[in-house]
Amino acid sequence: MISALALSACGGISSGTAEKSAEPLRAAEAKLPPDYSYVLTSSCGERALLGTYEIVVVQGRVVSGTRIDAPEILAVPPEYPAVAELLDSALGAGADAHVEFEADAAGLPARLTIDPDPNGIDDEECYRFSGITPGTRVPGRPSPG
C-alpha cells in the first residue's frame, strides 16, 4: 500500500487508508462553495451511477442532475451526489478501505477512488470531478447579485 502524501495548497495526491486521506479530503471539501455546478464522471464498480453527469448544487444540496454522455439512455436516474457527499463517503469507508484522492491546482477535488474492500470484486467507486463552477445560476431562479 502506498503511504499518504501531503496535500499542498496547490493541489496534490493522497493514497492510502481513509484515515490517512482524511486531511486532504477535508481541506478540499472546505474549498467547495455552497452553490456550484460540476461535471462528475463515474467509471468503475457495479452500481447505477456510471457515466458522466452535470450536477447543480445549491446550499450544499443537489437541485438537478443530467446525464451528458448518453442522454438517450432511458433508465431510472440515480440520486445525484454533491461533491461533499462523495468526499464524506471516502472518510467513512472503513479502516481497511483504500482511498486515492487528487486535488487540482486550486485545491478543489479532481479525482477520488474508494475501494471499501481491497480483496473484493467490483466494489470500487471511481470519480473524476471537473468544471466546478461557483455561484451557478439555477434554472427557474433569478441570478445572484
Residue at 28 is within a domain: no
pTM of the model: 0.81
**How far is Cα 90 from Cα 104, in angstroms, rounded to an integer?**
18
Instruction: Give the single-character DSSP code of 19.
Output: H
Is 12 among the domain residues?
no
Half-sphere exposure of 108 (CA within 13 A, CB side): 15
Cell numbers 487528487: residue: 102
Predicted confidence (pLDDT) per residue in 96-143, tens digit:
899 999 999 999 999 999 999 888 888 899 999 999 999 865 544 444
**Tell me, what's the pLDDT at 6?**
36
Q: What is the pLDDT of residues 5-47, one digit of tens each?
A: 333 344 678 888 888 889 999 999 999 999 999 999 999 988 8
Q: What residues contact residue 116 under an 8 Å CB cut-off, 6+ apart?
A: 93, 94, 96, 97, 123
Any domain includes 80: yes
| Each residue's pLDDT tens digit, 71-95 | 776 555 668 999 999 999 999 998 8
- Is residue 143 in a domain? no
Full residue range of the structural domain in which residue 60 is found: 34-134
